[in-house]
Amino acid sequence: MVSLVVIRIHKRQVSIYALRKGRIEERIKHQGSHLILY
């Protein structure tokens, strides 16, 4: 039971991390010229 909960939380964290990474990549693509300012 505990292991299943941990796996669920881990999957959730991975999905959130993937979404953040995807958003960052999109920002880099759209704001490539503004990347120096950040």
pTM score over 0.95: no
The number of angstroms, rounded, from the C-alpha of 36 to the middle of its chain's C-alpha atoms is 21
The token pair at 1 is 């039971």
- The per-residue pLDDT for range 14-33, each reduced to its tens digit, is 888 888 888 877 777 766 66
Q: Could you tell me the pLDDT band of residue 37, with boundaries at 50, 70 and 90?
A: low
Domain boundaries, the chain: 1-37
The token pair at 20 is 């953040």
pLDDT for position 15: 81
Number of H helices, E strands in the chain: 1, 0
pLDDT for position 26: 78
